[in-house]
Structure 1
Amino acid sequence: MPKVYFNEFNLGVNTLTTFQPNNTFHVSDGYMWAKGRHTFKFGGEFRYLQINERNVCSPNGAFTFDGSITGSDFADYLLGAVQNYNQCSQQFLDSRTRYGGAYAQDTYKVKPNVTLNLGVRWEVSMPWYDTQGKIETIVPGLQSTQFPTAPLGWVVPGDPGIPSTLAPTRYNNFSPRLGIAYSPGFKDGMAGKIFGGPGKSSIRASYGVYYTSIEDLNLFYEVGDAPFGLYWVSPNPVNFDQPFQEVANGMSEGQRFPFVFPKPGSPANKTLDYSIYLPISFSPGYDIHNRPPYAEHYNLSIQRELSKSTVLTLAYVGTQGHKLISQYDANPGDFALCLQLNQLGATPTCGRDGENQTYTLPPGVAAPAKAFTTPCPLGTPAGSTCIPGTRDYLGPAFSQNNSFTVNIANSSYNAGQITVEHKAADFTFLAAYTFAKAMDNSSGFGQWVNFLDPRLSRSLSAFDITHNFVVSYIWAVPFDRAIGKLPKRLTQGWALNGVTRYSGGLPVSLRQGGDYSLVGGGNTDVPDLVGKVVTQNPRNPGPNGPNTFFLPDAFASGPNGGFGNANRQFFHGPGINVTDFGISKRTMIREAMGFEIRAEFFNIFNHANFSNPHGNYNNMNTFGTVTSTRSFGDTGSGSREGQISAKFTW
């Protein structure tokens, strides 16, 4: 039975069922040797990981009825007016990876108050591979020899220069580590006053390089793609009874199922019919030059004991991320070609979302040098030239949403921190303030970077918070000492606790859909910045109505063929002001038996903490407007909530 989707419900079997047994084999050992003022440590580890997936994905197809024809999804169903149809083959994955690491470290006690730590780690992280080579990637200009009928650029392990791991294993991943700890011993003078005397202060600094492996998920987006699988999405509405036939013109998309899996290394692969896979869409490529991402971590801290129960810490911490995994469009439209086709009089006019449209040039007009050509349909004037879209990087054999996984992203984080901690018999208090800035050109694997120049995507990180102040406390209320006449079971065991946070907001993410860049997708398109961004309290009514955080007048749509000049994230949204409070009472019944009751209140002052405003310039009804509040923790709500709980221990 196929899956049938309506706007509010669905019928049929699940579209995806996964069976995934995994195995991890791990061996490690370490050795320590102390000699004089040196403590040496040596060691290593080896890991072998296996992931085996057997995914059943829409084996009988899935139909979507959304009401786009009649206005009612169920009426569309009665008419058999399918908006979308998809079907896919089973997905088989037998992935493996190996990791090896070794380290050497020397902790050197230079003086009683100075300790130096020197070390190095060597790591070898093999990229994930499939035991039968059932993965593929994109290398522009390279023709597959394993599958000679594949489109140019679509390659598999075993092709020239393509190892089983797609990218080579790197053996030069050396990670130096340096640390120093110093306790000033000044007894008098200005230095003695600043550091408080021997044993009252400590200064620590460290630097290290840390490598990480590329996760299996990032690589094996390639699983189930041509020719080792097929995920088919109808490009246009199709008939309910004939899901591979378009409604508009009756054109057949070809019978693509049941799908027959090619056997790696089989002679039949040399003549495999690739037409059932074309155009390839929603299939990622993995850069064959990828290497393990790494980060540099560094910090400097000064800790000062102000009293026996109070400690002040000043710190500077930073991280620089390099070769981070990101994505960009592997086969974008060519905006210059689109504009050139219009100058040559092509029909229809090339514009937004026209990357996959077929264009016809007048008789006698030659196609641009970068353009692909295709036979013109019957009825086209003699001498005309037909252009199958503007995706000239990989060509018409590749359609839309083919991402390219590559480690070209980078990040930076720098922060100053101040912490005051007080611990006494009945009262514990911690206050921390952080002044920070985080920047990157991709804040996550799913956030694409500009394919022309990743530097154009560099902006504030999605999680950047400039100011963050947090106070927490626990007070064991001494009722038993203040009220001595009542039974101790009533006066002992009371405690108050709370956490208060004041912080700035997260950056507002700007985007502009509608394909103004003429490259397709619009994943990196932003509006033009034409003025100063003016923000206001969303509680107050503004010229653009209630709940307005920033005025849209600072932005405008850019011209066709441009990505927009605004940064994707360059100013912050509403801040956070929230206080959680709790009170508890613990009563001991006997030595090993007790009863505790707690009352906890989240956002006890019911302060409205607004979510970020909408940043999609295409929707001017909500652009710059806040439409929801934040939720915190496990409560699932941003408004004041309370709960009472009890616990019995024995």
Structure 2
Amino acid sequence: MPHVSLRYCHCLAGLLAASLELFAGEHRGVVRIGGTAVPGAQVVLSRDGRRAVAMTNLKGEYTVADIGDGVWLGRVEMRGFVLLEREVRVAANQEASVWSLEMLPLAAIVGKPVSLVVAAPAAVAADPDNGGTTDAPSPMAADLLITGSVNNGAASQFGQSAAFGNHRSTLRAAYNGSLGLIAGHSALDARPFSLTGQETPMPAYSHWKGMAAFGGPLRIPHLLWQNGPNFTLNYQWTRDRSADVQAARVPNLAERAGDLSGLTDRPFDPANGAPFPGGVIPATRLSPQAQSLLRLYPEPSSASGARYNFQTLTPGGMQEDSWQSRFTQSLNRSNQLVGSFSGQSTRATASNLFGFQDGTGTLGLNASAAWRHLVSTRLSIVLGYQYSRLSARTTPFFAGRSNVSGDAGISGNNQDAANWGPPKLNFSGATPSLVDVNASFTRNQTSGASFSGLWNRERHNFAFGGDVRRQQFNLLAQQDARGTFGFTGAVAGSDLAGFLLGLPDTSSIAFGNADKYLRAGLYDWFFTDDFRVSPGFTLNVGVRWDYGSPITEKYGRLVNMEVSPGFGSGAPVVSSRPVGSLTGRNFGDSLLRPDYAGLQSRLGLSWRPVAASSLVIRAGSGVYDNTAVYLPIASALSQQPPLSTNFSVQSTPSAPLTLADGFHAPAGVASNTYAADPDLRVGYAHVWNISLQRDLPAGLAMTASYRGIKGTRGLQQILPNTVPTGAASPCPGCPVGFVYLESNGNSSRHAGQFELRRRFHDGLTAQLQYVYSKSLDNSGLAGGFQGGQSIAQNWLDLKSERGLSSFDQRHLLNLSGQYTTGMRKRRAAWLPAWGDALANDWNLAAQLSAGSGLPQTPIYFAAVQGTGVTGSLRPDFTGIPATQAAPGLFLNPSSFRTPAIGRWGNAGRNSITGPVQFSMNASLGRTFRVGERLSLDLRIEAVNALNHVTFTGWNTTVTSPQFGLPLAANPMRAVQTTLRLRF
């Protein structure tokens, strides 16, 4: 099994990723005039000195690829039409932008006043139904006249079809639509990779997605006819049924009965410290609570071993319906209304290793309206309103079905019907954690108003605007209502022995104050100047201010912990009550100081140093605030004592924990488990970049760039007043056992990128991109909240936390290409005419990505002394390279050992490199044109077309016999087919 990935490790390059960098994305759109597609229009997206350009095709559609998610300034230019500019949002699953062009007056087109005279044919008579007046061409038709004709020379040999720029003969031609189907089935897919070596059954899988789209002018007789709005309607229908393969090492029949003689760790009797004879725990000592919970574990499906002895399929399903609509109404040349409404409903089920099948359901709604007013040909303003609402419900497998904790004799946790189920069990060894999801019901809502404007003055293009948004996060859930037990082996010499004896090493729980109504406000304004200094030099200068208010709770139910300098003492502070006497500071119901210093600069330039050369130099610099830091903080502060039951403790000889009553807080434990620095500052990233672009012979274009990022005020989590295992506390009586959040972290990232692109020629286009980067930080939260791994090991030595970022990938190579058949001038002589027509216009595309592995942290699974926190401790590094592993392993267990008594482990954060990544996707497609307006798209796609095995990561828990083994394998080859009928 190691040879599967090792044979590729010398030829693969690494992955570009950064938490503070913009991720590559794609923006799509369509340009129309009066419902008719406009080909040949130029679309320009710009931001922070970057500029991406695309042209519309015959259908008026365009695509701008490989740009970062976020808000860009979009511009549509075409000779003879009003310049359109507005902000566009680039994000995953973002609907296509629709641009509606308006023609300039003829005087503006030719640059001088023109008296337009149209000679009507002599046969035209007065129309009595129209007040006795004669028909005259519409302004649009007049602007497009060819000299000497009012119908584009329709009576001559140069006549054009009734399409763009002509009166249409029917209403039907003004509408467009499509029907599509995407289908995938396990019959075309490869078998999942087996970690156990057992025969892997082919899981039943099916994927069906239907799509429908329709658009055009909305015309209702006698109400809305000629001046009705243009609309687009889209609907997607998805039904998925799948199953994953999971492997684990579960207790065998002998171990369930207390016979642990086959384990490396020998159990001992906690009562006297003596080993159990033969490693067998007497049946009379087995905990009834443990025996009850053991029934939830499946029995081994293969011979018992230290690595894996159980493998199963975990089925799941998903049903989704989504719809989007958009309406555009031009009131006159100066005013336009745009509205959109979309929604998505999802129902899904998922099961885990234990067969627990949980259900989730979401419903999201989005609506927006905007009024665009053209003050003059140089100044336009847009007023907008946006509204979104998302509700999501998660239902655990046992909810309302079986009170597992109560039936097992476990007390102290929340046993309401909605929270029925087993407590979570965590083991330091190979035994998988017993876990199920928590019940929750969220209803989030955002409403906001926006203003933006564009002003063109000589060589300046000014953009300005602002937003005001109000957010609601309404949550009905408990953080850990069923509680969590941890088994590290400290109590009985073996984690499994401690479980069988019913003696956990740690216990934690959090419930109460289930309903939370969190509120926040977001405000911003911006101003930019796109200044064309000279034909070869453009400067973009701007400033932006962002402010996100600290989140409050509607009824003042947030609890922070106010501590004295040095963490010598502390007391809980409830937001609806007066602040305690430690500091006397009161920042309102949020309990955090607002941070108004969100002023951010922007600078970008584009320079062509040699007029006759294709060399273009681009550079930019900007500061970006992270105003979305408060939600996880408020969620944690809303579940703290005295309003909730919340503690995390470690078993001690004087206060031992048991499965029966381990959720009753011992006397003297810290009243809070989480607190945040009231002076917490909003973090920001300073981003700078420079790139050189130049055309090369043979239709090639080369771009070389460098990007740097410096992050400041990153979030850090520490455990105050903690010491290494076996060491004496320097501050007896000081509060301990709570996580404290502060904003003293920092990070840096440097990346060099080389890109070589072959322009489309003779049916072939290709792009090669290589990135070399390195990211460092001292903040475990830089990669997101990851439980104990996001907490600093030594709260007094945060410098030792600096290491590779969890998203760091040293190398990344991306190669993509597309070939279209039949683009060469000469066809194959041996093909008949019909065969040549059949072989033409096929598009074959492939994308290859190869990258080095992501960093991982070695973990020594033990509780931090005096707390119930596990996962933050690291082992000692022995000096033996971790990659020098024995056959069958990917990491060497001898590279790490248990830390010395009274000392922290010296293994670095993210000091292990994960498995290399490789993928290759391919597709084959063609458009079959049946008529002028009817076409059929066929596309066949293969994900992981080479069926190459890659792994998600290694097991880095040094106390587990599975250390150095893969956690899971990435999906193998999957094939799906897409059919789309356009009309």
- TM-score w.r.t. structure 1 length? 0.71
Contact 2:649 2:868 in 1 (8 A): no
Q: For residues 147-226 of structure 1, what are the structure 2 equivalents within 5 Å?
A: 152-157=570-575, 158-159=578-579, 160-164=584-588, 165-185=590-610, 197-198=612-613, 200-213=614-627, 214-226=629-641
Report the structure number with the largest CA radius of gyration: 2
Name the residue aligned to 1:627.
966
Q: Which amino acid aligns with 1:315?
A: S
Question: Are 1:458 and 2:802 matched, yes or no?
Answer: yes
- Cα RMSD over matched residues? 3.9
Report Cα offsets for 1:172-214 as digits up to 9, x if no partner: 222111111101225xxxxxxxxxx33x121011111111212
Q: Distance in 2 between matches of 1:410 and 1:223?
A: 27
* CA shift for structure 1 position 300: 0.3
* Aligned CA distance change for structure 1 residues 339 and 463 (closer, same or farther; 3 Å): closer
Q: Distance in 1 between matches of 2:966 and 2:857?
A: 15
Question: Are 1:28 and 2:450 matched, yes or no?
Answer: yes
* CA shift for structure 1 position 519: 6.8
* Aligned CA distance change for structure 1 residues 507 and 38 (closer, same or farther; 3 Å): same
Q: Distance in 2 between matches of 1:249 and 1:32?
A: 68
Q: 2:975 aligns with which of 630, 637, 642?
A: 642
* CA shift for structure 1 position 417: 0.3
Contact 1:517 1:563 in 2 (8 A): no
Question: Are 1:328 and 2:718 matched, yes or no?
Answer: yes
Question: Are 1:125 and 2:471 matched, yes or no?
Answer: no
Name the residue aligned to 1:258.
none
Q: Distance in 2 between matches of 1:495 and 1:248?
A: 62
* Aligned CA distance change for structure 1 residues 568 and 518 (closer, same or farther; 3 Å): farther
* CA shift for structure 1 position 575: 1.7
Contact 2:650 2:867 in 1 (8 A): no
Q: Which amino acid aligns with 2:894?
A: D
Q: Which aligned runs of 4 or more in structure 1 are off by greater than 4 angstroms?
A: 56-59, 61-66, 79-87, 231-237, 245-254, 515-520
* Aligned CA distance change for structure 1 residues 120 and 476 (closer, same or farther; 3 Å): same
Name the residue aligned to 1:423.
759
Name the residue aligned to 1:412.
748
Name the residue aligned to 2:53.
none
* CA shift for structure 1 position 288: 0.3
Name the residue aligned to 2:878.
530
Unpaired stretches in structure 1, ≥5 consecutive residues: 69-78, 143-150, 187-196, 238-244, 255-274, 342-368, 373-391, 537-541, 632-636
Q: Which amino acid aligns with 1:162?
A: N
Instruction: Look up the SS of the partner of 2:800 in the other structure.
Output: helix
Aligned pairs, number: 522
Q: Which amino acid aligns with 1:41?
A: A
Question: Are 1:50 and 2:472 matched, yes or no?
Answer: yes
Instruction: Look up the SS of the partner of 1:42 in the other structure.
Output: strand
Q: Distance in 1 between matches of 2:670 and 2:541?
A: 51
Q: Which amino acid aligns with 2:700?
A: T
Name the residue aligned to 1:634.
none
Instruction: Look up the SS of the partner of 1:227 in the other structure.
Output: coil
Q: Distance in 2 between matches of 1:316 and 1:287?
A: 36
* CA shift for structure 1 position 488: 6.0
Instruction: Look up the SS of the partner of 1:490 in the other structure.
Output: helix
Q: Which amino acid aligns with 2:545?
A: W
Q: Distance in 2 between matches of 1:575 and 1:280?
A: 43
Q: Distance in 2 between matches of 1:440 and 1:116?
A: 33
Q: Distance in 2 between matches of 1:125 and 1:85?
A: 32
* CA shift for structure 1 position 409: 2.4
* CA shift for structure 1 position 308: 8.1
Report Cα offsets for 1:76-132 as digits up to 9, x if no partner: xxx998988968334232222222222232222222211122222223321111233
Q: Distance in 2 between matches of 1:551 and 1:248?
A: 35
Q: Distance in 2 between matches of 1:522 and 1:604?
A: 40
* Aligned CA distance change for structure 1 residues 298 and 80 (closer, same or farther; 3 Å): closer
* CA shift for structure 1 position 585: 3.7
Contact 2:649 2:867 in 1 (8 A): no
* CA shift for structure 1 position 63: 11
Q: Distance in 1 between matches of 2:647 and 2:891?
A: 42
* Aligned CA distance change for structure 1 residues 17 and 439 (closer, same or farther; 3 Å): same
Name the residue aligned to 1:504.
852
* CA shift for structure 1 position 418: 0.5
Q: Which amino acid aligns with 1:184?
A: P
* CA shift for structure 1 position 506: 1.4
Contact 2:925 2:937 in 1 (8 A): yes
Name the residue aligned to 1:260.
none
Report Cα offsets for 1:295-348 as digits up to 9, x if no partner: 11110000112258431100001211111223222x553349x5348xxxxxxx
Question: Are 1:229 and 2:565 matched, yes or no?
Answer: no
Name the residue aligned to 2:201.
none
Instruction: Look up the SS of the partner of 1:617 in the other structure.
Output: coil
* Aligned CA distance change for structure 1 residues 427 and 407 (closer, same or farther; 3 Å): same
Question: Are 1:403 and 2:739 matched, yes or no?
Answer: yes
Name the residue aligned to 2:526.
103
Q: Distance in 2 between matches of 1:326 and 1:109?
A: 44
Q: Distance in 1 between matches of 2:881 and 2:796?
A: 27
* Aligned CA distance change for structure 1 residues 491 and 228 (closer, same or farther; 3 Å): same
Question: Are 1:481 and 2:818 matched, yes or no?
Answer: no
- TM-score w.r.t. structure 2 length? 0.48
Contact 2:755 2:768 in 1 (8 A): yes
* CA shift for structure 1 position 610: 3.5
Contact 2:715 2:741 in 1 (8 A): yes
* CA shift for structure 1 position 560: 1.7
Question: Are 1:521 and 2:869 matched, yes or no?
Answer: yes
Q: Which amino acid aligns with 2:751?
A: A
Aligned-pair identity (%): 22
* Aligned CA distance change for structure 1 residues 39 and 578 (closer, same or farther; 3 Å): closer
Higher-RCO chain (CA-CA 8 Å, sequence separation at least 6): 2
* CA shift for structure 1 position 492: 3.2
Deviates more, 1:228-237 or 1:414-423: 228-237
Report Cα offsets for 1:334-375 as digits up to 9, x if no partner: 349x5348xxxxxxxxxxxxxxxxxxxxxxxxxxx8323xxx
* Aligned CA distance change for structure 1 residues 586 and 608 (closer, same or farther; 3 Å): same
Contact 1:156 1:162 in 2 (8 A): no
Q: Distance in 1 between matches of 2:740 and 2:706?
A: 36
Contact 1:212 1:293 in 2 (8 A): yes
Instruction: Look up the SS of the partner of 1:41 in the other structure.
Output: strand
Instruction: Look up the SS of the partner of 1:533 in the other structure.
Output: coil
Question: Are 1:300 and 2:636 matched, yes or no?
Answer: no
Instruction: Look up the SS of the partner of 1:409 in the other structure.
Output: strand
Name the residue aligned to 2:892.
551
Contact 1:122 1:174 in 2 (8 A): yes
Between Structure 1 and Structure 2, the one with more strand by share is 2
Question: Are 1:288 and 2:678 matched, yes or no?
Answer: yes
Name the residue aligned to 2:11.
none
Contact 2:478 2:510 in 1 (8 A): no
Name the residue aligned to 1:436.
773
Q: Which amino acid aligns with 1:641?
A: A
Q: Distance in 1 between matches of 2:484 and 2:692?
A: 63
Deviates more, 1:175-184 or 1:551-560: 551-560
* Aligned CA distance change for structure 1 residues 58 and 314 (closer, same or farther; 3 Å): closer
* Aligned CA distance change for structure 1 residues 52 and 604 (closer, same or farther; 3 Å): closer
Q: Which amino acid aligns with 2:626?
A: T
Deviates more, 1:458-467 or 1:487-496: 487-496
Contact 2:647 2:672 in 1 (8 A): no
* Aligned CA distance change for structure 1 residues 116 and 597 (closer, same or farther; 3 Å): closer
Instruction: Look up the SS of the partner of 1:127 in the other structure.
Output: coil
Report Cα offsets for 1:141-176 as digits up to 9, x if no partner: 39xxxxxxxx94222233031322212112222211
Question: Are 1:14 and 2:410 matched, yes or no?
Answer: no
* Aligned CA distance change for structure 1 residues 532 and 14 (closer, same or farther; 3 Å): same
* CA shift for structure 1 position 568: 1.5
Q: Which amino acid aligns with 1:333?
A: T
* CA shift for structure 1 position 292: 1.1
* Aligned CA distance change for structure 1 residues 511 and 489 (closer, same or farther; 3 Å): same
Contact 1:162 1:288 in 2 (8 A): no
Contact 1:457 1:524 in 2 (8 A): no
Q: Distance in 1 between matches of 2:502 and 2:597?
A: 58
